[in-house]
Amino acid sequence: MEEVLYNVLGAIATFLVAFVVGMTYGGLNRKITARVQNRKGPPFYQNFIDTLKLASKKSAIHHGVMQHFGPAFLMVTSVMSLLIVPVLTHNQWFPNLNFHGDLIFLLYIMVFGPLGMALGAGQTGNPNSAIGITRGLSQMVGYEIPWVLALVALMIQYHTTSIVGLMAVQAQSGTWLMFSSPFAFIAAVMAMLGMFSYSPFDVVIAPAEIASGPASENGGKYLFTMMSSGSVFAFVKLTLYVDLFMGGADNIVILLVKTFALYMIPVLYSLTTVRYRTEQSIRWFWGWPSFFGLLAILQAVIF
Amino acid sequence: MNTIYIIFLIFLGGAVFTYFAGKIHKVLQDILFLVSILVPAYLFFANVEIGQNVNLTLGGISLSWGINYFSWLFSLIVLGLGSLAAIYAVGFMKGEKRRGYFYFNFILSIMAMTGILLSRDLVSFFVFWEIMTWSSYLITIYNGNKVQSIGIKYFVFSAIGAYAMLMAIVMVHHITGSFLIGDMIHAYPAMALSMQIWIPIMFLMAFGVKAAMMPLHVWAPGAYSNAPMAYTSVFSGALSKMGIYGMTLVLVTMVNHIPQGVWFREVLAWLGGITAVIGTLWAIQQDDAKKLLAYSSVAQLGYIITGIAIGTELAMLAGLFLAVMHALFKGTLFMVVGAIEKQTGTSNFTEVTGLIRKMPWTFLSALLAIIALAGIPPLGGFVGKWMLYESLITSNHYLLVIVIFFASTAAFLYCYKFLFGFFMGQEEKEWAHVKEAPAVMVLPMLIMALFMLVLGTFPGIILNPINHGLQALGYADSYKHLWDTSIILNSWGNKVVLQPILYSIAGIFLFFIAFLTWKGYKNTRFISTKDISSSGEVPKEDENLTFSVGFMQPFYRAVEPAMRRQIDKYYNAFADGLEATFEFLRRIYTGNGQTYAIYVIVFVVVMLLFKDFLF
Amino acid sequence: MINDKNSQKIVDIIQNWARKHSIWVLGYGTGCGAIEIPPTMTSRYDAERLGVRGAATPRQADVLLITGYLTTKTLKRVIRVYEQMQDPKYVIGFGSCTINGGMYYDSYNTIKVLDKYLPVDVYINGCMPRPEAVLSGFGQLQKRIAEGRADGAKQYKENLEWYRANQKKIIPNWVMPEYNW
Amino acid sequence: MMKELKEHIIRRVKANFTEAEENNDFTYDRLDFTVKKEVVPSLLLFLKEEMGFKHLSHASCVDWLEEGELELVFILWSPKDKIKVFVRTRLDRDNPVMDNMDNIWPQLHTYEREFREMFGVQFTGLEAPDEFILEDWQGPPPFRRDFDTAAYAEKTFWHRPGREDAQDVRETIANRDGEDIPDFAKKYSR
């Protein structure tokens, strides 16, 4: 019983850290985008104000039970994957489920939320939502290929399918996996561009085209939950990459430095590119990223 | 008298009485139908002892019937799903024509599948196999549509399989002089190499047809979608598993004993993987729910074939667990389509939209089944998928992992399409009258959905009989080192503990649902699907804005080059080239059982006469 | 605790602060005024530093920015969009046309006084108003929000009959869903 | 060259449509024909099929209030000869009825709907919904010159008081808020 309580409290603490970091990163993204465009930009805490405002909306509408539950599905994905991704290497601060952190489980729990959310968006009856979702699902099939190639390469090279196991490999050898398995790292980072769905892979949201797609009928508390979930999930993804390829982090400062450095890749790439069509982005993912993924597997087999 | 005889007597007598009872009263017919499925099922699980054989001699051929742990596992699928589907069928067939015909063949095919599992000799195995083919063919052409294109295709492929099996049986008999399966297994390691290779190939062809393996899957989409949905859930859920059953037996008892067996396994595993990809890509494109599910069945059977073809302990566990799961979720999904078709009269996504508020229980079971199909935790599909991936990775099939993973990721597309097409979208006036299906139809679906939910956290319930079955086939005990009641492990020692996952997911989900509901409860309002933000326009009552035509177009545009060739075309070209032969075949396959039986007998006689010359 | 009067006041202050600094704008670009929005949003004037940002759909938006004249036909859509927005919601009338008809004062098909049909919080004068004026308008709106005076939605709800009568005078064949808050 | 071409066209048209009145006063590539309204469809068809005027550039309606007539103008263009032809016809203003011609050029359909809504010209056999641009319009056709738009607007819409005196807004605001009017603005004040 005590252990359960300890875990629950740890999970809440982890969630709060992830929320704050994710929100701040989102705000910094807006700030950096603004500075690159020679604007002053919003303050870095703008995303907190936005979520607070959304939470303090007085009214809300929904088109049925699935739309009502949709953001909760998303939250399940974010928090569950947060629970199984180790936040820090020596994990006294954030106890959670991460000793069971299995990569294949992670891959599948990542789909739980989007599918529930997609059903919610489908129930609104808004055609824009459904269009956005078909684009999103199609694009997901695109970037999962290099991502899985990279992960399978790591798994067969180091004979473990758990995140903790891969971190232990790095701790033992003292080399980060991004150096010992460079091709897997390249493929995974290219897949990460798709996962963050910033430009040029922002065809799902496309505000000017399909009115923000899946979220087009959500406002107030629903949008608040979605935005929070998105921030937490961004943190999870970055932490996962740090754990897999950069040897994890001993304390929170190192974690912030590493995740921020990684976060700059999709942010800066998005500033230089314009939106791809869905099939273009799918083909992009099945081109060079998958090629690097295959190289990674080749490397894993040979060495 | 032995229980096995009683079971078969009830099946046969029930089939005949049910057929004629329709003349007296419809309700009597329903009751007889249920009795003749449920009572044998009960007797089977209550009274048939595992490991005990019944021997009898019929016309000089000694037959043997009995059951071991492995076939008991499959009888769980056949009789469990069969019973639920029978209950469903009573609701489904209400007010339909030719109920006697349907019930008769339904009972016969359940009996045939039970018989296959009980057979310990090749003759009764073959006879039951043919009864199964025959009765399923008759149900496939039940509504009289497309008999030429679909029925004939199914029958031609089944016949190819049947002849292959018959040839193998004749070869075996020629060598061993006995029809008993046990004798065949004993004699196999000592056979000549060509026999050692040809007999498994022949058997695998026969089983591959029923398991809808590439390139023998061509018949499946048509036959699955053309049969009444009450039967298709059995057709896809249980009947295809007979192919898996046979394949597993062949692989374990024969192929394992020869050095070339590795190649068999590799080829089969890749065929399974390719089947999964092709089935998935075709399923995404379908606008008809039945076709979509049929192609999806082909794809799912591909995973199962890959699992059993890899053949490590974990892979076998994965394949057989997926087989059980497939029976559950595909049975449910076909029942869902049947319920929708019954209530609305169509199964096309472009016609029906927005049923979620009209058929909530159907939606719930469809949702759970789809989550299980997609392999998303915390439902049972995830356990099977996890074990399959882990077994592929630990046995170094790294490219096959990618292929399988691609198929199962792309499967999300059709999963979403299925749910969206029927239940989501704008509510139309045309379907305002639609009501929830009757309880007889909803209950079986919900029971299976609940079972999938339980299996997601406690897969040990099914892994235990699978383990027993595998032990009966000579595998080592895998309890505790590959699975526990709610833990799954791989051979590298990585594990997933399922209970905390379920509790965390449930906890997080309930917390946020409570948050979303409690926050601003008074100011949260339900609005209709016509009240959407579409540039200030108000959609009219008869205006349906749902996006359902060309639904997965962006994905299809990306994979178009790979889709241009379809295997059907090769077969058609082949058929055109050999039109004369096929014309001949068509004349033979009149759909009349007698002609077929005569042909089989002639074939057997010819084979026996020329056996020395042929082999 | 929340029902307590003083803590409600504090909550109000915090919420109004958030609303003030996060204004998501749904631009209803009917008239020529829409051309002034890009310069307001982009590098030169950068409205995003005030928290002003575009919204894609009425469900997500806080401010309905009506840029320019409204014909009887577009008025219907504007009312619809306004009613789909979530409370609290604000309306900015942008340009002379929304104030008194502007150059369309004698047009047979454009409305002259927007606040007869929707509760307008801030008018921005000009034909067209320059981005500076637009930013000043947003500043005024922020001031009103902070003071808690921007309660257009409440006003609309309380005087719904009056607004409906006015709207239905212009739109005789009213086939829109009723506003039932 | 152009002159010969024009004469050739006039000759051909006059041979078939004797009542057509031509106007050849233009120095550039333009010809005018004025015909009775019954002849318009056949003349348009003739020009399109026989003379190569494949393209309908424009169609418009003119309200001749003083003469009690509405004039329809069709502008055709020949891509081969690079010349345009105006076909004019006059309708009775009180009862403007015309034959439907959208089978000659499909795009005429749109023009006809506009004429019907804005000028009240009725096209017999035109199959289209009543509403085109105006929704719920109940007044007279608004493009007719006897339609007093100011009076209609006065009657239908509210007007904000204050614009009658034509005063500068800046002054009013400055007076109200007690601000100083800047010098550069003063010279514009009335």
Per-residue model confidence as pLDDT tens digits over B189-210: 877 777 777 888 888 888 888 8
The tokens for B210 are 């029923």
Contact pairs from chain C to chain D, CB under 8 Å = 55
A110 burial (CB, 10 Å; 0-12 / 13-18 / 19+) is buried
Sign of the CA dihedral D126, D131, D134, D138? positive
| Tens digits of residue pLDDT in B202-234 | 888 888 888 888 777 777 888 888 888 888 888
How far apart CA A220 and CA C12 sit, in angstroms, is 17
| Tens digits of residue pLDDT in A269-293 | 988 888 888 888 888 888 889 899 9
CB contact under 8 A, A34 and C51: no
Residues 6+ apart with CB under 8 A from C42: A37, A39
The proportion of chain B whose per-residue pLDDT surpasses 70, expressed as a percent, equals: 90
- The DSSP bridge partners found for residue D31 are D85
How far apart CA A187 and CA B285 sit, in angstroms, is 29
Do the domain assignments include residue D25?
Answer: yes
Q: Which of C109, C124, C127, C171 to mutate to test the interface with D (most CBs of D within 10 A)?
A: C109
User: Which pLDDT score, from 0 to 100, does residue B263 have?
Assistant: 82
Q: Binning pLDDT at 50, 70 and 90, where does residue B162 land?
A: confident
Name the residue among B456, B449, B382, B505 with its Cα closest to residue A108: B382
In the numeric block, the tokens 């026989």 are attached to D50
How far apart CA B276 and CA B268 sit, in angstroms, is 12
Name the residue among B173, B246, B175, B164 with its Cα closest to residue B198: B164
Touching partners of C (3+ C-beta pairs < 8 Å):
A, B, D
Could you give the residue ranges of the DSSP H alpha helices within B458-539? Answer: 460-472, 498-518
Residues 6+ apart with CB under 8 A from A257: none
Do the domain assignments include residue D124?
Answer: yes
Strands (E) in C29-118, as ranges, are 52-54, 63-67, 90-94
User: Which pLDDT score, from 0 to 100, does residue B588 have?
Assistant: 53
Do the domain assignments include residue C181?
Answer: no
| Element counts in chain B: helices (H) and strands (E) | 25, 6
Which residue has better confidence, B151 or A182? A182
DSSP 8-state symbol, B189: G
How far apart CA A66 and CA A123 sit, in angstroms, is 7
The average pLDDT across A200-226 equals 82
B146 burial (CB, 10 Å; 0-12 / 13-18 / 19+) is middle
What order do you get walking across the sheet with C52-54 strand by strand?
Answer: C52-54, C23-28, C63-67, C90-94, C122-124
For residue B56, the one-letter residue type is L
How far apart CA B158 and CA B223 sit, in angstroms, is 12
Q: Binning pLDDT at 50, 70 and 90, where does residue A8 land?
A: confident
The proportion of chain D whose per-residue pLDDT surpasses 90, expressed as a percent, equals: 2
How far apart CA C90 and CA C66 sit, in angstroms, is 11
The average pLDDT across A191-215 equals 82
Q: Which of C59, C175, C180 sits opposite B538 (nearest CB)?
A: C175
What order do you get walking across the sheet with D83-92 strand by strand?
Answer: D21-23, D30-35, D83-92, D69-78, D55-64
How far apart CA D71 and CA A31 sit, in angstroms, is 62
Do the domain assignments include residue D45?
Answer: yes
User: Which pLDDT score, from 0 to 100, does residue D169 have?
Assistant: 66
User: Which pLDDT score, from 0 to 100, does residue A161 have?
Assistant: 82
> Hey, what long-range contacts does A170-175 have (CB within 8 A, 24 or more apart)?
A170/A247, A170/A248, A171/A89, A171/A247, A171/A248
User: Which pLDDT score, from 0 to 100, does residue B615 have?
Assistant: 47
The proportion of chain C whose per-residue pLDDT surpasses 90, expressed as a percent, equals: 0
Q: Could you tell me the CA-to-CA distances from B498 to A80, B87, B377, B457, B570 in Å, in that order? A: 13, 32, 9, 5, 46
Nearest CA in chain A to C41: A39
Do the domain assignments include residue C179?
Answer: no
The average pLDDT across B527-553 equals 79
The average pLDDT across D29-48 equals 86
User: Biggest alpha carbon distance in chain A?
Assistant: 61
pLDDT at D81 over 70: yes
For residue D181, the one-letter residue type is I
B71 burial (CB, 10 Å; 0-12 / 13-18 / 19+) is buried
User: Which pLDDT score, from 0 to 100, does residue B607 have?
Assistant: 61
B459 vs chain C: nearest CA distance in angstroms? 43
Q: Could you tell me the CA-to-CA distances from C84 to A219, A221, B533, C62, C63 in Å, in that order? A: 10, 15, 7, 11, 12
User: Which pLDDT score, from 0 to 100, does residue B164 have?
Assistant: 82
| Tens digits of residue pLDDT in B486-528 | 777 777 777 777 787 888 888 888 888 888 888 878 888 888 7
The proportion of chain A whose per-residue pLDDT surpasses 70, expressed as a percent, equals: 96
**Mean per-residue pLDDT over chain D, rounded:** 82
Q: Which of A111, A125, A127 sits opposite B412 (nearest CB)?
A: A111
Nearest CA in chain C to D150: C106
Q: Is B90 left (phi over 0), alpha (psi -120 to 50) or beta?
A: alpha
- Mean pLDDT per 10-residue run, chain C (181 residues)? 72 86 85 84 87 86 87 86 86 86 83 86 86 89 86 85 85 76 61
The answer to whether residues B349 and B422 touch, using CB atoms and an 8 Å cutoff, is yes
The tokens for D12 are 């051909």
The tokens for B591 are 């759909």
pLDDT at B85 over 70: yes
Residues 6+ apart with CB under 8 A from B285: B552, B556, B563
Do the domain assignments include residue D182?
Answer: no
pLDDT at B584 over 60: no
User: Which pLDDT score, from 0 to 100, does residue B35 have?
Assistant: 84
* CATH number of the domain where residue D112 is located: 3.30.460.80
The average pLDDT across B354-369 equals 88
Q: Work out the number of other CB atoms within 10 angstroms of the CB of residue C1.
A: 6
| Tens digits of residue pLDDT in A31-75 | 998 988 888 888 889 899 999 988 888 888 888 888 888 888 888
- The DSSP bridge partners found for residue B66 are B53
Name the residue among A110, A161, A234 with its Cα closest to residue A242: A234
Interface residues on C facing B, Cβ-Cβ cutoff 8 A = 57-59, 76-78, 80-81, 84, 87, 175-177, 180-181
Contact list, A223 vs chain C (CB under 8 Å)? 59-60
User: Which pLDDT score, from 0 to 100, does residue A25 have?
Assistant: 92
How far apart CA A154 and CA A244 sit, in angstroms, is 9
The answer to whether residues A135 and A203 touch, using CB atoms and an 8 Å cutoff, is yes
| Tens digits of residue pLDDT in D84-93 | 888 889 888 8
The tokens for B331 are 């049975």
pTM recorded for the entire structure: 0.84
Do the domain assignments include residue D126?
Answer: yes
Contact list, C180 vs chain A (CB under 8 Å)? none
How far apart CA C45 and CA B451 sit, in angstroms, is 61
The average pLDDT across B266-290 equals 85
User: Which pLDDT score, from 0 to 100, does residue B95 have?
Assistant: 79
pLDDT at B69 over 70: yes
The average pLDDT across B522-536 equals 80
The average pLDDT across D166-180 equals 72
CB contact under 8 A, D158 and C116: yes
User: Which pLDDT score, from 0 to 100, does residue B133 have?
Assistant: 85
User: Which pLDDT score, from 0 to 100, does residue A24 have?
Assistant: 92
Touching partners of A (3+ C-beta pairs < 8 Å):
B, C
Q: How many domains does one find in chain C?
A: 1
State the DSSP H helix or E strand holding residue A151, giving kind and residue range, or none if neither. helix A127-158
pLDDT at B536 over 80: no
| Tens digits of residue pLDDT in A155-180 | 888 888 888 888 888 888 878 878 88
Q: Flag whether A touches D (3+ CB pairs, 8 A cutoff).
A: no
User: Which pLDDT score, from 0 to 100, does residue B186 have?
Assistant: 81
User: Which pLDDT score, from 0 to 100, does residue B154 have?
Assistant: 79
Q: How many domains does one find in chain D?
A: 1
Do the domain assignments include residue D61?
Answer: yes
Per DSSP, the residues of B61-113 read EEEEEE--HHHHHHHHHHHHHHHHHHHHHHHHTTT-S-HHHHHHHHHHHHHHH
pLDDT at D190 over 60: no
The average pLDDT across A172-193 equals 86
Q: Could you tell me the CA-to-CA distances from C96 to B267, B320, D155 in Å, in that order? A: 77, 74, 21
Residue A144 sits at the chain C interface (C-beta within 8 Å): no
Per DSSP, the residues of B162-175 read HHHHHHHHHHHHHH
Which residue has better confidence, B26 or A94? B26
Query: φ and ψ at C64, to 5 degrees?
Result: -100, 115
- The DSSP bridge partners found for residue B526 are A62
Omega of the bond leading into C88 within 30 degrees of 0 (cis): yes
User: Which pLDDT score, from 0 to 100, does residue D159 have?
Assistant: 81
The answer to whether residues C21 and C82 touch, using CB atoms and an 8 Å cutoff, is no
| Tens digits of residue pLDDT in B289-326 | 888 888 888 888 888 888 888 888 888 888 888 888 88
Q: Which residue ranges make up each domain of chain A?
A: 2-302
Q: Which of B531, B536, B537 sits opposite C177 (nearest CB)?
A: B531
Q: Binning pLDDT at 50, 70 and 90, where does residue A249 land?
A: confident
| Tens digits of residue pLDDT in C17-62 | 888 888 899 888 777 878 888 888 888 888 888 888 888 888 888 8
Q: Is D99 left (phi over 0), alpha (psi -120 to 50) or beta?
A: beta
User: Which pLDDT score, from 0 to 100, does residue C2 have?
Assistant: 52
SS3 C1: coil
pLDDT at D139 over 60: yes
pLDDT at B591 over 60: no
